[in-house]
Amino acid sequence: MNSSDPSQERNDQPDSSSPTDEPTQPADEATDAPQDQPHQEPSLGPACLVVAILSLAVMSAFCAFSAWFMFRDQYPLAVDAINKQLIPWIESCQLAPEDKRQIIAELNDLVPPLENRTLSKRQLTRLRNCLQDNPVPLWGGVQSIIAQAPDSGLTETELQTLQRVSERLLRAAAERKLSRNDLEFTIQNCSRVRQDGQSLEVVDNLTAEQIREYMTRAEQLVEENGIPNEPYEKTPAEAFGILIDAALQVE
């Protein structure tokens, strides 16, 4: 937002304190300053600060995983993190019910090998990294945007573009080309931090402009990462499973 020149405002207003028959006073020294200032782009600082705050809010649901490497016996800590942190977080997020069910099943399937200590330390490290930076649990926000789009005033062409760019974004997530921070920034203009401070949630009654901003940011991300402009028919739960399988793969 361009700020107005205070000296310009003073010159535009009549000086009621000086009688008309008195000689004109000398102009304020500030008026001698050049009026043609170079155009300055708005600072990205506030937007970056908002994204940083939101990132910290969402990360709180995954903070237990950071404790894995602070103690010698990491396996029981991992089990507690899944049962007491991740699963409750998934249950309360905006994901579609079927995606929630399948993702919770995926997490429950991780518990026996952790309890039996059949996962190697390397697999445990990879799993921790995967769950800490996994964007899929936030995908309920994208689902909400798509669901609200038909009533927002978007054209039929824009609705088709929205569906395609969201599919490409999910593919980027499944291919480990989309971080949680990336998705937070993409849906930021449509979202708020939940009252419990645990995650982002997309608000109701989105406008066409808010959805277009999401589409613009999503398009930029998929183009930067070389994601093909073609259908991607995986569900968020399937993408989550792909990421878990990749984390546990022994190379």
Q: Residues in the chain with pLDDT < 70?
A: 1-72, 251
Q: Contact at 8 Å (CB) between 22 and 159?
A: no
Q: Is residue 81 part of a domain?
A: yes
Count of Cβ atoms closer than 10 Å to residue 164 Cβ: 18
pLDDT at 83: 96
Expressed as residue numbers, the domain containing 151 is 138-234
Query: Is position 48 within any domain?
Result: no
Q: Are residues 78 and 157 in the same domain?
A: no
What is the pLDDT at residue 10?
40
- What is the C-alpha to C-alpha distance for residues 149 and 132, in angstroms, rounded to an integer? 30
Output the pLDDT for position 208.
97
pLDDT at 96: 97
Specify whether the CB–CB gap between 169 and 136 falls below 8 A: no
Q: Are residues 110 and 84 in the same domain?
A: yes
Q: What is the pLDDT of residue 248?
A: 94
pLDDT at 25: 45
Q: State the total domains in the chain.
A: 2
Q: Kindly state whether residues 128 and 183 are assigned to the same domain.
A: no
pTM of the prediction? 0.72
CB 95 within 8 A of CB 201: no
Answer whether residue 9 is part of any domain: no
Domain shared by 86 and 106, yes or no? yes
Please indicate, yes or no, if residue 127 is contained in any of the structural domains.
Answer: yes
19 lies in some domain: no
pLDDT at 59: 52
Burial class (CB in 10 A: 0-12, 13-18, 19+), 218: buried
